[in-house]
Amino acid sequence: MNRQWFISGALLAGGSVFAERVIDIRGKGQGKIGISLGSYRTGFDAASKTFLAVLKADLNRSGHFSVTSSGGALNVTGACQAGSQMKADVHVYQVATRKKLLGKSYDAAASSARGLAHKVADEIVYAVTGKKGMASGKIAVVGNRTGRKELYITDMDGKNMRQITKDRSIVVGPRWTPDGKSLTYTSYKRGYPNVYMTGKGKPISSHGGLNASGAVSPDGKTLAVILSVSGNPELWLKSLRTGKLTKRLSSTQRGNEASPCWSPDGNHLVFVSDSSGRPQIYIISKNGGRASRISSSGTESVAPDWGTNGYITYCSRVGGKYRIMVANPVAKTVRQLDADWADYEDPKWAPDGRHIVCSRTSNYRSSIYLLDTLKDSPVALISGSGDWYSPACSP
Amino acid sequence: MYKMVLKLVVFSMVAGSLALVGGCKKSKPGADLYGSGDNLYGDPLMGDTPMNDDMMGVPADGDRSMFEPLFFAYDSSQVNPEEAGKCEDVAKHLKKNSGGGVIIEGHGDERGSREYNLALGERRALAVRDYLISLGVEPAAIQTKSLGEEMPENMGHDEGAWRLNRRAVFAIY
């Protein structure tokens, strides 16, 4: 039932994004594709062993495959070897037809074994299913292990963590720019909450009062941002070229706005407003006009993320617990993802448009989890060494 | 010693001009920090360039010990009548000490999203600001700063802690 819902919606959004290829496994309700890497050869060096281990883990995590050492509908052959450089040959065959779905040679520095494995995993996913993978994506996340709240980046599997800010301050709500090259975030490094972009020293928004939730439009020209410069927190658009405020999209003297996110085509924004008394999710045209509410269940709904698949995921408080919702803004349907007793918040679409990365809080500790909107179990990606929250997935 | 300083100066000038050149070539693919094909294989450095803005002369901090914080109901930015008296003491002080001012820091409890709580904290600070203005305080002497749920007063996770965390703090400068 759930899957039915998801797939009918995927038609509405997915068609333009990915070309259909070769084998369609999803959508017919079949299980995972067995993929054997038993005959794939590696050298005795650490890098090529890492490469194979990461590749297997990525393929399993993709949701499409079940990695086996023999049998399976697909067979991966080839070899990987590394000195200071590594070289990997990868051939993927459909066993039944002996058809070659992928045959490629890759070169990389041995220190990049993980990155190369992520790339190969995504190319296998695409070659077999025609769908975009997520393994090459990055997660930006806020962590407090230093005692301050700094920005970190990891690979999509939660590994390869790097600390991005060393401001000894507070980072809130990181978001990727649409080109995947930078992050915007709110920081108090100069005392007041301003919006910054990585690589730029000066804030990109520093009006009097609150500057928060800066989100760059898909064309890279406009910043949607929450400002209280008018005397109340409102949703504004600001030109990134001129730095001028170009439009105020809300005017709710009795309400807060928060967390804007652009639609994939850049014509609409989804955001939070509590103008009805409690925070709920609304959509508005970038040209202004009336906002329409899309959240209905739950006492409060926050933190929307509009995926390139067309769906909006957000967080609702249901029965005293925070739950992840997936809404189809065209059909106006909403579904709640299954969850255990913990709180799940801040959902963000993974680059594959199928998985969701979010924070999970239990016993007052937060970690980062990967949820599957189809059927796989949740996977812990980042946990331990303090709290981890407010994830953002690269496009 | 002098030589070393000179070297440093020259080095930082060169580094500075390099940074400028880098800044101008923003559109060149691969010159950026993220996203180019290299992104798959290596880790770009996302070092922060030094800050040189100065927040337009607005004070960033003040003395929080002079006045009691004001407390709020859940998800509310209304100044309760029983809390409003605290504003009167602050207003009296500010009217007496022209040239000084107050930063009202708005806070929330840990429930709800961090970004929503930032907006809520700002609304709490603005509600207190409006109240001070109604008591005759010069608007220019009142800054607001929302800290959302980021700086709780009490680290607990029950209503007793949350009640203390939903607050507006007066930082006098």
Give the architecture-level CATH label for domain A138-393: 6 Propeller (2.120)
Domain boundaries, chain A: 19-129, 138-393
Residues of B whose CB is below 8 A from A364: 157
Closest CA in chain A for residue B59: A191
Rounded Cα gap, residues A65 and A33, in angstroms = 5
B48 in a structural domain: no
Contact B66, B93 (CB under 8 A): yes
The total of other beta-carbon atoms located within 10 Å of residue A371's CB is 23
What is the spatial distance between Cα A372 and Cα A347, in angstroms, rounded to a whole number? 12
Q: How many helices (H) and strands (E) does chain A have?
A: 3, 30
For the cut 80, the answer to whether the pLDDT of residue B30 exceeds it is no
| CB nearest B116 (choices: A136, A138, A256) | A256
Within a domain: residue B49?
A: no
The reply to whether B163 falls in a domain is yes
Structural domain that includes position B104: 63-172
As for how many domains chain B has, the answer is 1
Identify whether B146 is part of a domain. yes
Eight-class DSSP state of A51:
H
3-state secondary structure of B85: helix
Q: What is the pLDDT of residues B149-159, one digit of tens each?
A: 999 999 999 99
What's chain A's length in residues? 395
Residue B28 lies in a domain: no
Spatial neighbors of A274 by CB under 8 A, at least 6 apart, are: A255, A256, A280, B75, B116, B120
Per-residue confidence (pLDDT) for residue B2, from 0 to 100: 52
Tokens of A154: 């990891």
Asked if A356 and A327 touch (Cβ cutoff 8 Å), the reply is no
The span from the CA of A225 to the CA of A195, in Å, is 8
Report how far Cα B113 is from the mean position of its chain's Cα atoms.
18
* Chain B interface, best mutation among A192, A206, A213, by max B CB count within 10 A: A192
Let me know if residue B68 belongs to a domain: yes
In this prediction, the answer to ipTM > 0.85 reads yes
Looking at the domain assignment, is residue B20 inside a domain? Answer: no
Angstrom distance (rounded) from CA A286 to CA A62: 34
Chain A residue whose CA is closest to B149 = A172
The pLDDT score that the predictor gives to residue A135 is 98
Q: What is the mean pLDDT of chain B?
A: 75
User: Is the pLDDT score of B76 beyond 60?
Assistant: yes
CATH number at residue B135: 3.30.1330.60
pLDDT value, residue A6: 38
Residue A23 to chain B, least CA–CA distance (Å): 27
> What residue ranges of chain A have pLDDT lower than 70?
1-30, 297-298
pLDDT tens-digit series, residues A293-334: 998 866 899 999 999 999 999 999 998 999 999 999 999 899
**Gap from A54 CA to chain B (nearest CA, Å):** 14
**What is the per-residue pLDDT for B165?**
96
pLDDT for B32 beyond 70: no
pLDDT score at B57: 60
Residue A263's pLDDT is 97
- Other CB atoms closer than 10 Å to residue B5's CB: what's the count? 9
Confidence grade of residue B22 (pLDDT, cut at 50, 70, 90): very low
Interface contact flag, A259 B50, Cβ < 8 Å:
no
Query: Is B119 exposed, middle or buried, given 0-12, 13-18 or 19+ CB atoms closer than 10 A?
Result: buried
Domain A19-129 belongs in CATH node 3.40.50.10070: yes
**Residue B99 has what pLDDT?**
85
Residue B14 lies in a domain: no
**d(C-alpha A281, C-alpha A341), whole Å:** 24
CB contact under 8 A, A170 and B123: no
Mean pLDDT of B127-151: 94
> Distance between CA A61 and CA A65 in Å, rounded?
8
pLDDT the model gives residue B56: 55
pLDDT at B51: 35
Higher per-residue pLDDT: B91 or B6:
B91
